[in-house]
């Protein structure tokens, strides 16, 4: 298995709406496995297709942080939020496509999400805490939205400049 390069903001692919998954192919299964490996290697708790240049509505996540606990890797295709709580939660978010930048983002504290699994079955689950934040963050990616889009224009601009500088530095190496 191999990891995939993670796109860094600003990259126009990170701002595009992703196409629905219409068929579960071996290529897509391999992509999902590579996305999970990339996410764990980064390390992160979630990764969406466009972050690795895959413009399909697919995301992976595993919010089990305790090294003693059993991991819970999940692959969600065509995920959609079917319910959100009125209660909000503010969480300091980061993003593998915006390395080393963090900011408080307020989102619904609980969500119910329906998706298509790799087995071709429709699944639905109620997410809370970090899981709720993560799945909403990753679904945002599928819709071309980044966590910095929730920030003030000034903060967003400062972070974007830092990422442009990071990309220039990486290109030089």
Q: Is the CB of residue 166 less than 8 Å from the CB of residue 173? A: no
Peptide bond into 10 cis (omega under 30): yes
Which residue in the list 34, 93, 110, 138 is annotated as catalytic? 138
For residues 77 and 22, give the distance between their C-alpha atoms in angstroms, rounded to a whole number. 10
Is 34 designated active site?
no
| Residues that are catalytic | 138
């Amino acid at each position: 298995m191999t990891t995939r390069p993670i796109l860094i903001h600003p990259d126009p692919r990170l701002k595009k709406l992703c196409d629905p998954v219409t068929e579960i192919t071996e290529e897509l299964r391999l992509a999902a496995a590579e996305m999970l490996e990339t996410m764990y290697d980064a390390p992160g708790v979630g990764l969406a297709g466009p972050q690795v240049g895959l413009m399909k509505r697919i995301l992976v996540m595993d919010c089990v942080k305790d090294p003693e606990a059993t991991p819970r890797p999940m692959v969600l295709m065509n995920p959609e939020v079917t319910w959100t709580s009125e209660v909000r939660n503010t969480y300091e978010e980061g993003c593998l496509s915006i390395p080393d930048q963090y900011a408080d983002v307020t989102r619904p504290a609980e969500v119910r999400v329906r998706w298509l699994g790799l087995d071709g079955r429709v699944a639905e689950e109620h997410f809370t805490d970090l899981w709720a934040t993560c799945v909403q963050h990753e679904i945002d990616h599928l819709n071309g939205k980044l966590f910095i889009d929730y920030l003030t224009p000034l903060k967003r601009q400062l972070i974007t400049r830092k990422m442009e500088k990071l990309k220039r530095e990486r290109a030089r190496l």
